[in-house]
Amino acid sequence: MAATTEYDSRYLQGVLRFNRAEYFEAHEVWEDLWHDTAGPERRFIQGLIQAAVCVYHANNGNAMGSRRLFHSGRRYMAGFPNRHLGLDAEYFWKMMERALADLLADSSVTFATLRADCVPKIALLPEPGCWPEDS
């Protein structure tokens, strides 16, 4: 049986929304958590917020915004251990990079596209003891 752990319910709600492709909503939930977070954790949450908005922009054709937030979000999370708050950050950013490959490979691309066949999902290890109710 896998180990479980407790996470902030807002963190988990953001994960659920991100995985349902509700990127703007994930950003909103994580931003609420970010406001209440101090210290190094704040940078990690900021990276998640920027990842969500990056994908949101890509889905809406905003290449410049998506590209900028991809790079800054990745930098925010770069100093953390590979598995932080249950998230394999290295794998997550590789999936983000794959989903945005065309956009990231060519800075002259002005209309963003997200590769639907490899949209990033967040898996947490250890699994949370309890997922929040859908709200």
Task: Kindly state whether residue 134 falls inside one of the protein's structural domains.
Answer: no
Task: Kindly state whether residue 48 falls inside one of the protein's structural domains.
Answer: yes
Domain count of the fold of the chain: 1
Task: Kindly state whether residue 135 falls inside one of the protein's structural domains.
Answer: no
Q: What pLDDT shows up at residue 1?
A: 43
DSSP secondary-structure letter at 124?
B
Task: Kindly state whether residue 133 falls inside one of the protein's structural domains.
Answer: no
> Beta partners for 101?
none
Packing angle of the helix pair 63-77, 40-59 (nearest 10 deg): 160
Given a cut of 70, the residues of the chain with pLDDT beneath it are 1-4, 134-135
H or E element in which residue 128 lies: strand 127-128
| 111: CB partners within 8 A, 6+ apart | 61, 63
Q: What pLDDT shows up at residue 110?
A: 82
pTM score:
0.92
Task: Kindly state whether residue 76 falls inside one of the protein's structural domains.
Answer: yes
CATH number for 121: 1.10.3450.10
Question: From start to end of 9-126, where are the E strands?
Answer: 83-84, 87-88
* Containing structural domain, residue 87: 4-128
